[in-house]
């Protein structure tokens, strides 16, 4: 609500204040906020003055050994005989709910232990629910020397959109 008031120039938005609502006692309390002179964004000498490379900063930049395919491309590869191993890095309960036939379950928290049992000379097709966990798995495996990594873009969410009855 306060953002809308600010954008419309209506009312008195609580600029420089934090408003606390206590639902149990139906009361409001205002806290005045002071600017931190050491803040890297708004302090006296800000060091962050422009946008940063978010992917690099968060560690989500895909490794150079990873490529990406769509679920449609994966489906075609499965139909013609997959030239590698399909790995599902979701949790066991997610896998039990629905899975891609022929996928091998290795939950992301277990990828470190399982890496030594995976062949480095085969293509690893890795998927999860939406693509984030599989990209992390690819990044980890890339650091371990795997060079044939394929992230399935959109993961199981995209697979189910394309094929609602896996």
The dihedrals phi and psi of 115, each to the nearest 5 degrees, come to -55, -35
Does residue 92 carry a pLDDT above 60? Answer: yes
Instruction: Cite the active site residues.
Output: 128
Q: What is the pLDDT of residues 20-74, one digit of tens each?
A: 989 999 999 988 888 888 888 888 888 878 777 666 666 655 556 679 999 999 9
Do 151 and 102 share a structural domain?
A: yes
Residue 126 domain flag: yes
Do 79 and 12 share a structural domain?
A: no
Residue 56 domain flag: no
pTM, to two decimals:
0.63
Which structure tokens are listed for 58?
A: 């968060």
The four Cα atoms 106, 108, 113, 117 give a dihedral, to 10 degrees, of: 40
For residue 21, what are the β-bridge partners? 28
Number of domains present in the structure of the chain: 2
Range of the domain at 145: 61-162
Residue 55 domain flag: no
Cα 34 to chain centroid distance, Å, stands at: 34
């Amino acid at each position: 609500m306060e953002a809308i008031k600010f954008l419309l120039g209506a009312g008195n938005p609580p600029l420089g204040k934090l408003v606390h609502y206590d639902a149990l006692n139906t009361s409001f309390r205002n806290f005045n906020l002071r600017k931190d002179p050491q803040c890297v964004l708004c302090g006296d000498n800000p060091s962050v003055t422009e946008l940063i490379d978010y992917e690099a900063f968060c560690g989500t930049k895909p490794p150079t050994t990873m490529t990406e395919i769509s679920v449609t491309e994966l489906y075609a590869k499965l139909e013609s005989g997959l030239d590698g191993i399909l790995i599902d890095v979701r949790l066991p309960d997610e896998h039990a709910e629905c899975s891609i036939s022929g996928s091998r379950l290795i939950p992301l928290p277990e990828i470190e232990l399982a890496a030594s049992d995976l062949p480095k000379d085969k293509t690893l097709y890795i998927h999860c629910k939406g693509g984030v966990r599989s990209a992390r798995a690819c990044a980890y495996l890339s650091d371990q020397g795997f060079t044939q990594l394929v992230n399935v873009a959109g993961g199981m969410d995209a697979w189910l959109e394309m094929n609602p009855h896996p």
